[in-house]
Amino acid sequence: MDAFALLSRGGAQFDKKRFSKEVSLFNGRKRPDEHSVSKPPETDELPAELDFFKYAEGGVHSGRAKKIKNEPRGMEDADEAADSEAEASGSEGDVDAEHTMPTAHRIRCTGEEVPSPITSFSELTSRYSIPPDLLRNVASAGYADPTGVQTQGIPIMLEKRDMAAIAPTGSGKTLAFLLPIFGLLGAPGRSAAKQAGARALIVSPTRELAQQIHNEALKLAKGRKWKTVVLNKATANALRDKAARRKVDLIVSTPLSLVSALEEGIVDLDNIRHLILDEADRLLEEGFLKQIEEILAGCSHPELQKAVFSATLPAAVEAIANTFLRRPIRVIVGLKDSATDTIQQELLFCGSEIGKLQALHNLVADGIQPPVLIFVQSIERATELFHELLYDGLNVDVVHSDRSKAQREETVRRFRRGEVWVLVATELMARGMDFKGVNLVVNYDFPQTVQSYIHRIGRTGRAGRQGKAVTYFTKEDAPYIKSVANVLKASGQEVPQYMLDLPKPSKLKKRELKRRPIERKDIARAAGAGVGRNLANRRRDMISASKRRKVEGEKAEKEVALAEE
């Protein structure tokens, strides 16, 4: 049992079983004062509580803003500049011939000899001889019409061009590389020397995402003899057998698994013709970069096609990508550094740490529609918040990298199936994960980069669905607010003017900031305030939503199971 839970309840026995029934759970617990949490400022005035000036020299009115612009460019500035340069350089390769298309969905291509986009999947048969059974699998996986990144990205991939694709979260990037890969793989792996061994490699920053990509690949490969494999301990072992290795067509892997297998000599990348870096900006960050370089070095085939995909690609990282992409085509869908417009975004000022906890309690008490995903900044805080919500009798689980592989898999599976209503997660879940029905993302801890914000909230509002994202902040988060406020503005959300007027803090000041842990006494106080008498009713709503979700989850699992056969 968790010692912390015991402590925070003044020694009261903390027993999960107590919460298996809803009865009497919340009796006698007072609903917190509805106004105990500061509401978001409704005016454009700078709230007095927000003493931003200690994070930046000068202030909003000091004329400093102009000066900041003249300082050496940060990544975001460079990005904006890169985009306007592209725009200024003319509409060459711009497929948005008619200006009727809303900016948010506009596709812009730069590069030499950009192939024309497709307008339907069926077109791929005549144009690129894509087999009809592959297209049937596309259709039965639920893809009807190609999305922006697919219309342009698929022909580019099929013409074996290198590419940097930047497209919103939930807009179908996975299919944009998987479909062409299967179209180009040719005959499934046989012992014929030239075809032997893996010919395509997809690298992903997390195991969960690798597994998800693999599941999608299985759906597309259904009924054909292609073999795709996620590299992990078990599969790596199987690959020690040379004959088994020759049968693999497509490998999906995290960087370290792959490097490890490379060093052990149980995979060789000599025959890889298609290399995809998914969530490329993450993979090209320090910490991953060395391994990516090793992987690139291992892919020695002269006809290697490389493509990087992400919803975000800061200019500095794109520059790194451009060192290994050859004659790349850059595809950008929508506006750079903007969130999906189907997500309703809110920034909520909570005053303090305890204010955030109360805000969350109020949110739950007011009723939430599961599934809900809550992001925090560290493993420790994930654990703490998990226990807090468990105490509230919520159907909650937690996922982070300190949990075992089995626990992580089980938690994700249960969340997909609707058995877990609220999932507390670290950055681990921020990228790529496709939980189609997530209704709400809560950024309990303010994301530390714009990229993180965009990816986190992108777990909702996917594939054209509506979604909602609430981001809590306190004055500690001041240095990060302006850039996130700009994201809201760029995606057409209302945002108080004062947030946009904030000075841009220096990197140094950001670095000085440290997030304090959720303090035990804060939790004890907030928990004492209770979750509210309403919860039993709300639970009933949640249960019915959960049941609907479970049906969807099981259906999805069946599809994967079928594909595996």
Partner DNA sequence: TCGCTTT
Give the C-alpha separation, 96 to 109, whole Å: 9
Contacting DNA (CB under 7 A), which of 205, 370, 467, 530? 205
Choose the binding region for DNA from 8-16, 36-44, 250-258, 345-353 (rule: CB under 7 A): 250-258
Q: Which residues contact 57 (CB under 8 A, 6 or more apart)?
A: 64
- Residue 246's CB is within 10 A of a number of other CB atoms, namely 20
Q: Which residues contact 120 (CB under 8 A, 6 or more apart)?
A: 145, 146
**Paired tokens of 62:** 């000091």
Q: Is 340 exposed, middle or buried (0-12, 13-18, 19+ CB in 10 A)?
A: buried
Give the C-alpha separation, 15 to 5, whole Å: 10
Choose the binding region for DNA from 131-139, 273-281, 296-304, 422-430 (rule: CB under 7 A): 422-430
Site for DNA in 301-360 (CB under 7 A): none
Contacting DNA (CB under 7 A), which of 93, 255, 432, 505? 255
Q: Closest distance between DNA and the C-beta of residue 354, in Å? A: 20
Choose the binding region for DNA from 7-15, 42-50, 176-184, 423-431 (rule: CB under 7 A): 423-431
Choose the binding region for DNA from 193-201, 267-275, 372-380, 529-537 (rule: CB under 7 A): 372-380
Cβ-based nearer residue to DNA, 18 or 511: 511
Cβ-based nearer residue to DNA, 407 or 448: 448
Cβ-based nearer residue to DNA, 95 or 315: 315
Choose the binding region for DNA from 6-14, 39-47, 378-386, 552-560 (rule: CB under 7 A): 378-386
Contacting DNA (CB under 7 A), which of 102, 131, 186, 287? 287
Q: Closest distance between DNA and the C-beta of residue 472, in Å? A: 17
Nearest to 473 by CA among 356, 358, 384, 360: 356
Contacting DNA (CB under 7 A), which of 36, 38, 110, 232? 232
Residue 228 binds DNA (CB under 7 A): no
Cβ-based nearer residue to DNA, 162 or 208: 208
Nearest to 176 by CA among 140, 202, 149, 136: 149
**Paired tokens of 193:** 């020397």
Q: What's the gap between Cα 39 and its chain centre?
A: 28
Size of the site for DNA (CB under 7 A): 32
Q: Closest distance between DNA and the C-beta of residue 209, in Å? A: 8
Residue 378 binds DNA (CB under 7 A): yes
Q: Closest distance between DNA and the C-beta of residue 67, in Å? A: 25
**Paired tokens of 123:** 């077109």
**Is the Cβ–Cβ distance between 473 and 452 less than 8 Å?**
no
Residue 55 binds DNA (CB under 7 A): no
Contacting DNA (CB under 7 A), which of 147, 253, 345, 474? 253
Nearest to 429 by CA among 415, 439, 417: 415
Q: What does 293-309 look like in DSSP terms, one character per residue? A: HHHHHH---TT-EEEEE
Residue 410 binds DNA (CB under 7 A): no
**Is the Cβ–Cβ distance between 222 and 562 less than 8 Å?**
yes
Q: What's the gap between Cα 77 and its chain centre?
A: 23
Residue pointed to by tokens 């929508």: 334
Q: What's the gap between Cα 350 and its chain centre?
A: 25
Q: Closest distance between DNA and the C-beta of residue 4, in Å? A: 16
Choose the binding region for DNA from 105-113, 127-135, 243-251, 425-433 (rule: CB under 7 A): 425-433
Choose the binding region for DNA from 45-53, 112-120, 280-288, 545-553 (rule: CB under 7 A): 280-288
**Is the Cβ–Cβ distance between 206 and 401 less than 8 Å?**
no
Nearest to 552 by CA among 465, 458, 454, 441: 465
Instruction: Give bridge partners of residue 472 from the DSSP assignment.
Output: 348
| Residue window 501-540: x/- pattern of binding to DNA, with contact defined by CB under 7 A | ----------x--x--------------------------
Cβ-based nearer residue to DNA, 36 or 232: 232
Angle, in degrees to the nearest 10, between helices 132-140 and 173-184: 160
Cβ-based nearer residue to DNA, 222 or 381: 381
Site for DNA in 432-461 (CB under 7 A): 448
Q: What's the gap between Cα 456 and its chain centre?
A: 5
Contact residues: DNA, CB under 7 A: 205-208, 231-233, 253-257, 260, 285, 287-288, 291, 377-381, 400-402, 405, 426-428, 448, 511, 514
